[in-house]
Chain A
Amino acid sequence: MLELGDYGTSDFLQILKRRHPELLASPAVPPVQPAEIRAYEGTTVLAVVYGEGIVIAGDRQATEGYQVGERRIQKVYQIDRRSAIAIAGAAGPCIEMAKLFQVEVEFYEKTEGVSLSLEGQANFLAHLVRANLGLAMQGLIVLPLFAGYDVKRKCGRIFKYDAIGGRYEEDDYYAIGSGGKDARATLKKRYRPGLSRQDALGIVAEALWDAADEDIATGGPDFIRKIFPTMSLITEAGVSEVPEVTVEGIYREFISRLEQ
């Protein structure tokens, strides 16, 4: 509803402070206490731009201290028709944030009759991350990696975040989580602009393998239990999950090459 009450104020900051304090850069930070909360965490999630769009993928393991907490956790969630979020950090708040974000974007689309632009989604997510600062200061950090296909620019785009809501765009690929650095090292060597779908899935599998190899909190492919990293493709046509058997095939082929 249109509010006429602010007439006479040309100070935008004043209006935001009064009506939308959540949009401001420095929310109140609660006093920091050392974290004693035990939560599932540990992750490698990544996104890679390829010719037709973007791949977003993640491992399946959640850890609690030095224990495996969960082997089949889902870290990639579809948001819009052409966007998805991958999350790293404390599992509970992470899943909650992904869910809220998905509802927000869908709610917007239904009420407005047009979908929220990819950049609009990315900006809105920054506000959600910032709103979590209080929990982050107590150790329950939530860091998303946001990827989508931009219909206007006709390409895949990646957005990463820091704990205080900073939003940064990456051009080609990015990986976050405890194994993110290891995955990035692989992607750095393997990435080429305009990758085919097949090649993109290949380097994604390899990056996740390397991350699981180096980082104890990242799970690799589990051939006994049939648990494999999830990979989703986002193109102009929408988001589609790569079938588990295809991912298994990619890993079997990868291992046979390693053994040679």
Chain B
Amino acid sequence: MSTPYYVSAEQIRQDKEDFVRRGIQQAKEVIVLEYRDGLVMVAENPRKTTFKISEIYDRIALAAAGRIAEYEALRVAGIREAEIKGFRYYREDVTAKWLTNLYSQHMAAVAQAWDAKPLEIELLVCEVGSDDSRPGNQIYHIAFDGIYLEEEKYAVIGGRAMALREMLEQEYTDDLTMAAAVQLATRCFQAVEADADERYDITPRTIEVACLEKSAERRKFRRLSVQEVAERLRTDDAT
């Protein structure tokens, strides 16, 4: 009879964390910023149809860094659960906090399972507030193991999130216009790319931009076209 091997819980957790960190390190980042009319999300993404930012429900969007396939399954599951809840109760009862808990529980369960690899993704669940609602804009940052943080004003996920967050700490100001917010995110990306070994050009074609607009009708989510992104990046454009 073979002797059962022993690995400490601490060691298991550490191994999983290292494994995920190696995966996430290569993941391109997503920045979300609060601006005058809601939240704008900017991702480095040269692909044309594979998105990292997407619509979940009326006021809620999801952004991810990491493995697209894993993100995709969570994205669709989130939409489904949100639709069921909105249909059962009322559209306003579907909240980012609720969705965050759902993702968090799922990711924690996968990360703790002995026979599964943890998900190599980080998520941002964003909800735009209305003028009269008390919580206002909400940004939840969920790590691979389901642990989540509530972030204020801006948040970053991806490999070089730390460096980007430091830059935003310096440069972020309240009440940004959409153009100013997109430009700020782009400047941050350019700065981290300048330090990279293989330089990567940031152009309107290599970033993905979407926003949750407070002033929009029921569905607040809008994806900006390359044309619109180019317009926002023109430095003289203040709107």
Contacts and interface: CB of A to CB of B under 8 A. Distances in A.
Interface of A: 1-4, 6-7, 12, 15-16, 19-20, 23, 108, 112-114, 116-117, 119-124, 127, 152
Interface string B65-103: 000000001101110110110011110110101100011
Contacts, number: 66
A220 B86 CA distance: 42
Contact of B74 (A2, A23, A114, A119): A2
Nearest to B81: A2
User: What are the 7 tightest A-B residue pairs by CB atom distance, in nearest-first order?
Assistant: A120-B89, A120-B90, A2-B106, A119-B90, A120-B93, A117-B90, A2-B77
29 contacts: A1-B105, A2-B74, A2-B102, A2-B103, A2-B105, A3-B77, A4-B73, A4-B74, A4-B106, A6-B76, A7-B73, A7-B76, A7-B77, A15-B80, A16-B84, A16-B87, A23-B84, A23-B87, A112-B97, A114-B97, A116-B93, A117-B89, A117-B90, A119-B90, A121-B89, A122-B90, A123-B89, A127-B88, A152-B132
Contact of A23 (B88, B95, B103): B88
Interface string B182-208: 000000000000000000000000000
Contact of B93 (A1, A3, A117): A117
Contacts of A127: 88
A7 B84 CA distance: 15
Contact of B92 (A16, A113, A117): A117
Given A2-B106, A16-B84, A119-B90, 8 more contacts: A1-B105, A2-B81, A3-B77, A6-B76, A6-B77, A20-B84, A23-B87, A127-B88
Contacts of B106: 1-2, 4
A152 B90 CA distance: 14
A112 B98 contact: yes
Contacts of A23: 84, 87-88
Contact of B89 (A7, A113, A116): A116
A123 B90 CA distance: 7
Nearest to B84: A20
A19 B89 contact: no
Contacts of B88: 20, 23, 123-124, 127
A12 B83 CA distance: 8
B110 to A, nearest CB: 10
Contacts of B89: 108, 116-117, 120-121, 123-124
Interface in B123-159: 132
Most central of A2, A3, A15, A113 by chain B CB within 10 Å: A2
A13 to B, nearest CB: 11
Nearest to B98: A112
B97 A113 contact: yes
A2 B107 CA distance: 10
Contacts of A19: 84
Contacts of A123: 88-90
A116 B87 CA distance: 13
Contacts of B80: 3, 6, 12, 15
Contacts of B78: 2
A4 B74 CA distance: 7
Contacts of B102: 1-2
Contacts of B97: 112-114
Interface in B19-78: 73-74, 76-78
A3 B103 CA distance: 10
A119 B77 contact: no
A114 to B, nearest CB: 7
* Residue among B74, B89, B95 with most chain A CB within 10 A: B89
